Amino acid sequence: MSCLILLCTAIWVCAPISSALDQVVQKKTYTQDEFVLVSGQKLVGVKVGYETYGQLNASGDNAILICHFFSGDSHAAGKYAADDKVPGYWDSIIGPGKALDTDRYFVISSDTLCNLNTKNPTVVTTGPASIDPKTGKPYGMSFPMVTIRDFVNLQYELVKSLGVKKLAAVAGASMGGLQTFQWAAAYPDFVERAIPVISTPRVHGWLLGWLDLWGMPIMSDPKWNAGDYYDTDGPIQGLSNALKIVTLSAFWTGWAENCCDRKWSDKEGSPYAAMPNTFLIDNALETRARDRAKLADANSMLYLVKANTLFDLADQAGSMEQAFKSMKAKVLMIGADTDMLFPPSQIKAYLEPMTNAGLSASYFEINTGNGHLGGILDIAQAQEVISKFMSQ
Amino acid sequence: MSCLILLCTAIWVCAPISSALDQVVQKKTYTQDEFVLVSGQKLVGVKVGYETYGQLNASGDNAILICHFFSGDSHAAGKYAADDKVPGYWDSIIGPGKALDTDRYFVISSDTLCNLNTKNPTVVTTGPASIDPKTGKPYGMSFPMVTIRDFVNLQYELVKSLGVKKLAAVAGASMGGLQTFQWAAAYPDFVERAIPVISTPRVHGWLLGWLDLWGMPIMSDPKWNAGDYYDTDGPIQGLSNALKIVTLSAFWTGWAENCCDRKWSDKEGSPYAAMPNTFLIDNALETRARDRAKLADANSMLYLVKANTLFDLADQAGSMEQAFKSMKAKVLMIGADTDMLFPPSQIKAYLEPMTNAGLSASYFEINTGNGHLGGILDIAQAQEVISKFMSQ
């Protein structure tokens, strides 16, 4: 709930300088009979959802692709119905006259393979919860391992199918930023600009540690049953615990102070009076995690964790220098000053190597009490810098 | 293991400017037949361990009390045997000629009630794993709720029993810092100086969230069994998972980069090759947590979590202003720049209110890649500022 409030605040802040995307958006589905993963394994009947805002021009070169974050989906802007309480997560920068101007650009936002929220009716994805055509049952942990590169390769097929000849920009936050870096490295002639937000071109050891903790509660839940749980309730407790860790590690002090400070969960039940009486933040984390767990799939979370851990452009190219030399896109990196998952110090350290490799690279920092999620909730701060970057 | 290496580094850095405490120290035991908690409940046959370094003077006013952190114990300096691999955790600032100079001061370091490491033979504590004399069985969750104030009240009895008339200083890191603040507020005429390190005079909402996550894996483990597990192996998995979260949230990027970066757990088993193949940091977290879990007690952890959540001098005094007005000690607060549990911004915010309340208050910041644990591993950076503070 607090996140919704914060999101509204971010949108309100943005309101005076641009108008909301008043278009009612629809989730569409891209399907492909066969898709070959980087590992060589084949997936048949692949589906991913996507949304578009604005119109593609005749030359097919005014498209912008938005890649989503770990627990997100392709609903980046607009509303599915006029009375939706909140629009897509980056609505403050996507729309007529905004940084990613839908009067000028054709914005595409795509779901990834193994999207977390398989039970969200507006998410379309292919992953371990999908039916394996060979068995007629969900793949579970027999689903092949996927990588960020696979996400991007499938998006490449998707955008080509829409008539896109070139992407004016790829942008995304967090795991969306990993995809953005991957796009610039994998398809250098197809990407003019890259806007990786709260993200780095490799997942550092520190974040590997956090990703380990995000998967841990699922695999510790006996109901996970090595991923074979689709005929049961599944590891709801483990998944919910995992989402609690995701939530807190993605935030910062501001969120906790604003939502809860030292308020009690129950006005009558003083935490000072008894062991089980808790503070409001425990309740906020629990409620939020339980609500998110209802829409999510535990195995998909493990596949996403794995895909994130494997991301390193240096490993792919032999060195980071080689990776940067292979890229052609102009790069605008955006960090959040209180981000503890992708600390700004780690992001900024890539500026000099990028410039040395001949890239046009710049950095902007969001000032936020929301930590990592500042890259989503407070993205409106980057409105002007993104606008300028798009006109370069 | 990596922590040990870092600890050695910190000590080595300190070596040129002062000599190690070459004294072989002994754990001693303080016992009290009856101890009344703040709640009014009584504990009988209370025991806590303590260590001393240096000599008490005739007037009993050269004592310094060291309070330990959440997962620590009273082994703050020296070695139990000459061939111990590492000395106590703050050995770099406790010893002859050091900041807390054992040639001048009588340093006492005390275990708390409900110490986490009940299976560590050098820890002496009273908590849920202790035998309830009424039943002849461990208390479990029937142990009364305890607070930081209770820890301090028992330490007051301990130091009085040693002949101490006044404490020249109380110092401690993290939960030890909470105790330090509590000492200054509860016994204003007994405490001349307070050195709370990586700590604040109240536990903020943000840290309440982390404390919730630290307890979560234990209570989610079916083997916790509502705290009744002393005739079984107990919730080893849950406790180990909890200690993983403690470890990572107490560190920062530097630790992860130094210990592991993107190295693989197993040189043969590439994480790129299969889902179960992991990176070294997963292994480092697992090994460290398992080793720590062997010495720890799950219920004690829950009691410590609870005691920490309840700490707020403002709640005790009616307001923080009143709390500061009741204090007389000079205060030196020490933060760590990358601390995400007690961020420096939260610590520094108390400087002005302290000064406004008439207190002599100052702040020093440790520069570290070790996050919160910089307050322990890199405390040698504060050598000079503590020395000066002690001579004021």
3-state class (DSSP) for residue A132: strand
In angstroms, the Cα distances linking A237 to A216, A234, A245 are 12, 9, 13
Does some domain include residue A194?
yes
Q: Which domain covers residue B129, as residue numbers?
A: 2-390
Q: Per residue of chain B (392 residues), what is the pLDDT tens digit?
A: 333 333 333 333 333 344 556 678 999 999 999 999 999 999 999 999 999 999 999 999 999 999 999 999 999 999 999 999 999 999 999 999 999 999 999 999 999 999 999 999 999 999 999 999 999 999 999 999 999 999 999 999 999 999 999 999 999 999 999 999 999 999 999 999 999 999 999 999 999 999 999 999 999 999 999 999 999 999 999 999 999 999 999 999 999 999 999 999 998 899 999 999 999 999 999 999 999 999 999 999 999 999 999 999 999 999 999 999 999 999 999 999 999 999 999 999 999 999 999 999 999 999 999 999 999 999 999 999 999 999 99
* Residue ranges of chain A whose pLDDT lies below 50: 1-18
Does some domain include residue A233?
no
pLDDT, position A205:
98
pLDDT in tens, B71-80: 999 999 999 9
**Nearest chain B CA: its distance from A344 CA (Å):** 11
Does some domain include residue A281?
no
CATH of the domain at B155: 3.40.50.1820
Instruction: Give the number of beta-carbon pairs within 8 Å between A and B.
Output: 145
Q: Are strands A137-138 and A131-132 parallel, antiparallel or unpaired?
A: antiparallel
In the block, tokens 């070959």 appear at A36
- Annotated catalytic residue within A18, A150, A372, A378: A372
- Amino acid identity at A182: Q
Name the residue of chain B whose CA is nearest to A302's CA. Answer: B275
Question: What residues of chain A lie within 8 A of the CB of B241, using their CB?
Answer: 216-217, 220
Q: Which of A25, A330, A30, A320 is nearest to A153 (CA)?
A: A30
Phi, psi of A138 (to 5 degrees): -60, 145
Cα–Cα dist B287/A250, whole Å: 25
- Annotated catalytic residue within A92, A174, A240, A265: A174
Question: What residues of chain A lie within 8 A of the CB of B372, using their CB?
Answer: none
Does some domain include residue A245?
no
CA B93 to chain centre: 16
Q: Are A261 and B205 inside 8 Å of each other by CB?
A: yes
Structure token pair of residue A91: 């609505």
In the block, tokens 């371990």 appear at A128
Among A38, A262, A280, A290, most B C-beta atoms within 10 A, so best to mutate, is A262
pLDDT in tens, B60-96: 999 999 999 999 999 999 999 999 999 999 999 999 9
Does some domain include residue A132?
yes
Does some domain include residue A263?
no
Other C-beta atoms closer than 10 Å to the C-beta of B179 total 30
Contact partners, residue B157, CB within 8 Å, separation at least 6: B30, B32, B35
pLDDT in tens, A328-360: 999 999 999 999 999 999 999 999 999 999 999
pLDDT, position A20:
58
Question: How many separate domains does chain A show?
Answer: 1
Among B281, B290, B304, B313, most A C-beta atoms within 10 A, so best to mutate, is B281
pLDDT, position B1:
35
Of B222, B237, B261, the CB nearest to A205: B261
pLDDT, position A22:
64
Question: What residues of chain B lie within 8 A of the CB of A370, using their CB?
Answer: none
Name the residue of chain A whose CA is nearest to B342's CA. Answer: A253
Q: Are B217 and A213 inside 8 Å of each other by CB?
A: no
Q: What was the ipTM of the complex prediction?
A: 0.93
Question: What residues of chain B lie within 8 A of the CB of A369, using their CB?
Answer: none
pLDDT, position A9:
34
Does some domain include residue A271?
no
